[in-house]
A and B are shown apart, each in its own frame.
Chain A
Amino acid sequence: MPGKVITITSGKGGVGKTTACANLGAALASDGLKVVCIDADIGLRNLDVVLGLENRIVYDLVDLIEGRCRTRQALIRDKRLPELYLIPAAQTRDKSAVSPSDMIKLCDELRGEFDWVIIDSPAGIERGFRNAIAPTDMALVVTNPEVAAVRDADRIIGLIEAEEKGPARLLINRIKPNMVKRGEMLSPEDVIELLAIELIGLVPEDENVLTGTNRGAPVVLNGKSRAGQAFRNIAQRLRGEKVPFLALDENGGFLGKLTRMIRTGGR
């Protein structure tokens, strides 16, 4: 069976695309699946830093596409997970160095060898976004429970539909259950109601994410982290398993409502 290409995108910057990419890649790879993460944010690379692989880069995505190296040479194997690989972005070039058809060609090649190809899209709706979305089988839209991020997610979902790459799945990141309970943060229901697409995961705010990112160790490898558990659940849902959504609230208040909403189609 050929591998599946998923693109992680958001429109707005800083909502957790790179974190999601590193963690989903690590979660799938720790289940023994062969995974490659591609950093499509050319000129502003950081997936390598989050994975702690910065010092191993010899060749990058642009070298590979311009034929200065073979695919095997551009693949960096993770230091902890033998099934996880990274193709880093070039830091000294910009988005125009790669075209959508280059990405399609590359992903068609990688599909033969890997179970999952995960593309980390840059923020924005320009060339970099179109490069990241061109080869995808499934787009995963990351947003935070805040108005500006949701607005940009809506725009991105529209563009994904226009490129005929839909339907996109929704990942709501950095939820603070206490703020939601006090009515100071958009609730997951509010976000789903507006965006009207299928939910694939809810990730709570967790300080372990930041420490993991700084140390170059994805938080899914930390068994105690709640965000890590949420990302492991998303990885299982990507593989087609039914996993209940994490109870964000201790007494399970809005979770019950939420699961009911999802069962009725997310509307």
Chain B
Amino acid sequence: MESDIGIAEKPKIQIKGIREGLLIILEDGDWQKVHDFLLEQIDQQAEFLCGARVALDVGSQVLKAADLGQLRNQLSDRKITLWAVISDSPTTQQTAQTLGMEIQLTKAKPEQTEQSISPGIQSGEQAILLHRTLRSGFSIQFPGHVVVIGDVNPGAEIIAGGNIVIWGRLRGMAHAGAEGNKEAIICALDVMPTQLRIADQISITPQQRKKAQPEIVRLRDGSVIAELWNPK
């Protein structure tokens, strides 16, 4: 199932058959060159690839929305669906997620997530800051803490190894301590989530319209408890 179609002195491209369709592995190097060579290779095998579902492993390339969006459109011009982009660059992973693509071939177990995002960091040691509204369909998985400045809308999800802090309204799904840390907390200026999870506990908040107040959610005796935040 594996064919190596790289040519000497050109960037190497590998195409493999996998359970989910085709996986194309690109070599690191100047993105423009890699990109042009990829399209050239695809055009040479247009008949074979037409209608294919493709996952792309871009290595450590740092890609912005414009790069990935352009490539996806160029592939769809050739009747190829790009459904996943695999990378060890957090920027590229975020770009792929915001464009609605998968960043893993299969649903990851927590330890794989940790490895794929940044190997070697301890759960809860690092944090990622998202300064934007997280809209429906957005998903972020991070082994450390997640801090959001903005609202988390219904249909968005945050899965963090550590704590989750939201300077805004929480209306989507938040999972803190996803790798089993029972000390993890979730706090937000208004806690109205579709679902909350801490470690292995799941809770559904009753749909009551109350006055927006900052709250901290933590595990107490094995159940998820929300407390008003009171600085005094």
Residues of chain A touching chain B, judged by Cβ–Cβ distance below 8 Å, are 96, 99-101, 125, 127, 130, 134, 151-152, 154-155, 157-159, 161-164, 194, 196
Contacts and interface: CB of A to CB of B under 8 A. Distances in A.
A157 B135 CA distance: 8
Given A154-B153, A196-B151, A100 B136 contact: no
Given A151-B154, A164-B65, A158 B138 contact: yes
Interface residues of B, number: 21
A196 B135 CA distance: 10
B73 interface: yes
A158 B69 contact: no
B17 interface: no
A130 B76 CA distance: 10
Given A100-B73, A130-B73, A155-B136, A162 B98 contact: yes
Given A164-B66, A164-B69, A155 B76 contact: no
Contacts of B151: 194, 196
Nearest to B74: A101
Given A155-B135, A157-B135, A163 B153 contact: no
A85 to B, nearest CB: 27
B73 A99 contact: yes
A194 B153 contact: yes
Contacts, number: 56
B103 to A, nearest CB: 14
23 contacts: A96-B79, A99-B73, A101-B73, A101-B77, A125-B137, A130-B76, A151-B136, A151-B154, A151-B155, A154-B154, A157-B135, A158-B98, A158-B136, A158-B138, A159-B99, A159-B100, A159-B137, A161-B135, A162-B69, A162-B100, A163-B69, A164-B69, A194-B171
Interface of B: 65-66, 69, 73-74, 76-77, 79, 98-100, 133, 135-138, 151, 153-155, 171
Contact of A134 (B73, B99, B133, B154): B73
Nearest to B100: A159
A152 B65 CA distance: 22
A155 B65 contact: no
Nearest to B51: A96
A155 B137 contact: yes
Contacts of B79: 96
A100 B138 CA distance: 23
Contacts of A152: 136
Q: Which of A127, A161, A162, A163 has the most CB of B within 10 A?
A: A162
Contact of A99 (B76, B153, B171): B76
Contact of A154 (B76, B98, B135): B135
B137 A163 contact: no
A106 to B, nearest CB: 14
Contacts of A159: 99-100, 137
Contacts of B65: 162-164
Contacts of A164: 65-66, 69
A73 B203 CA distance: 60
Contacts of B98: 158, 161-162
Contact of B99 (A99, A101, A151, A163): A163
Contacts of A155: 135-137, 155
Given A162-B99, A164-B69, 8 more contacts: A100-B76, A127-B76, A151-B154, A157-B135, A158-B98, A159-B100, A159-B137, A162-B69
A229 to B, nearest CB: 32
